[in-house]
Amino acid sequence: MAQQAYVTEKDDGGSGYERPGSRLRRLVARLTGPWRGDPRIWRRGIVAAVLAMLLALVMVVHSHIPNTIGNLGSLTETFLPWCGVLIPVLLAVALLRRSATALIALVLPTVVWLNLFGGLITDRTGSGGDLTVATHNVNADNADPSGTARDVAASGADVVALEELKASAVPTYEQALATAYRYHSVQGTVGLWSKYPLGDVRAVDIELGWTRAMRATVATPAGKVAVYVAHLPSVRVKIEAGFTARQRDKSADALGEAIAHEPLGKVVLLGDLNGTMNDRSLNAVTSQMRSTQGAAGSGFGFSWPASFPMARIDQIMVRGVEPESSWTLPATGSDHLPIAARVDVTRS
């Protein structure tokens, strides 16, 4: 009789086989059982619901958060993708509290985040391209400049930009890269190494009083490309002053002005901009160029800090050429990760 009762409970006509639909219904009943008939599911979790709505609001109006106090707007935009981490946290709270109100409220920030960053989750890389470029802030205090240079050269890049070059370390980088790159130029603390001839090389004034940006024409087999290398001033987050970025913002405007007057139609910008594509303060640059990571990368491509990357402040940006793929290279002796991209110069 016990066996007969079991078969009847399974509702399988006596075969002993439980249909998948029956198992699913039992699972749903087990999960929702404690919620049914409980009027408190609408009253509980109000705080979590309010936090969910505030999270959505921050993501929607981030461009309107003022920079007048501690550059709060730029700070928010620098780490804006990380707002998504709060969604599963609030989801867990809503489930633990058995709050239908909080669960419904979570739909809004989820939709907003997916609208902003959902496209970055997918793999957008292509297989084409005729020019590979790489950029790396090598860190002035790098204990192994030779090894760092070899690691970047191993990417197979045709053009390599290095930033934060200490004068005493420049000969080491030059020696390590000499075999792979026949042409190179160092201007101040930035340098460009290329397998193809360089012309019209000059420093670019980004209003710092010393050279941290340069420009060169690279004569690739597919045509001439203007390549800019830049290292914008660092930013700091201080309790008393907030996100201090005034000098970075001023230099970004100067760099954007230089690129806007570039006579060549095909332009590549390589460097450490100390800011993300979301940061409005870099608009002078980002408004006229495309990010290779956003167009042809896989994931967010965070590059800093190397130990636990939280933001993509190192950038490869293009105008007049088509991004095909973009990726982050393995860590070196620097506190930044090197990044690389492959672009199509002939197709724009």
Supply the DSSP string of 38-87, one letter for each residue. Answer: -GGGGTTTHHHHHHHHHHHHHHHSGGGS-STTTTHHHHHHHTGGGGGGHH
Please state the pTM of the whole predicted model: 0.84
Percent over 70 (pLDDT), the chain? 86
User: What is the reported pLDDT for 105?
Assistant: 96
User: What is the reported pLDDT for 33?
Assistant: 58
Q: Which of 38-47, 128-137, 335-344 has the lowest mean pLDDT?
A: 38-47
CA atoms within 13 A on the CB side of 303: 28
Question: What's the CA gap between 329 and 150, in Å, rounded?
Answer: 12
Q: How do the domains of the chain map onto residue ranges?
A: 34-121, 131-344
**Between 28 and 188, where is the model more confident?**
188
Query: Are the CB atoms for 313 and 112 separated by under 8 Å?
Result: no
Q: How confident is the model at residue 101 (pLDDT cuts 50, 70, 90)?
A: very high
131-344: CATH topology? Deoxyribonuclease I; Chain A (3.60.10)
Give the amino acid at 195.
Answer: K
**Between 29 and 269, where is the model more confident?**
269
Query: Are the CB atoms for 268 and 316 separated by under 8 Å?
Result: yes
Decide the pairing of beta strands 236-238 and 242-244: antiparallel
User: What is the reported pLDDT for 241?
Assistant: 46
Task: Give the CA distances from residue 146 to residues 156, 163, 192, 262, 331, in Å, rounded to whole numbers and listed in that order.
Answer: 16, 15, 16, 33, 14
What is the mean pLDDT of the segment spanning 281-293? Answer: 96
User: What is the reported pLDDT for 310?
Assistant: 96
Query: Are the CB atoms for 110 and 87 separated by under 8 Å?
Result: yes
Q: Which two tokens stand for residue 246?
A: 């005034």
User: What is the reported pLDDT for 9?
Assistant: 45
What is the mean pLDDT of the segment spanning 51-62? Answer: 96
Q: Which of 6-20, 84-98, 161-175 has the lowest mean pLDDT?
A: 6-20
Question: What's the CA gap between 341 and 25, in Å, rounded?
Answer: 49
CB count within 10 Å of CB 104 equals 14
pLDDT digits (tens, 9 = 90+) for 206-264: 999 999 999 999 999 999 999 999 999 988 765 544 556 789 999 999 999 999 999 99
Q: Which two tokens stand for residue 218?
A: 């690279």
Q: Which residues share a beta bridge with 291?
A: 317
**Between 30 and 275, where is the model more confident?**
275
Task: Give the CA distances from residue 206 to residues 2, 54, 175, 230, in Å, rounded to whole numbers and listed in that order.
Answer: 85, 38, 29, 9
pLDDT digits (tens, 9 = 90+) for 104-137: 999 999 999 999 999 898 888 988 899 999 999 9
Give Dmax over CA atoms of the chain in angstroms: 93
pLDDT tops 50 at residue 4 = no
pLDDT tops 60 at residue 27 = no
User: What is the reported pLDDT for 234?
Assistant: 87
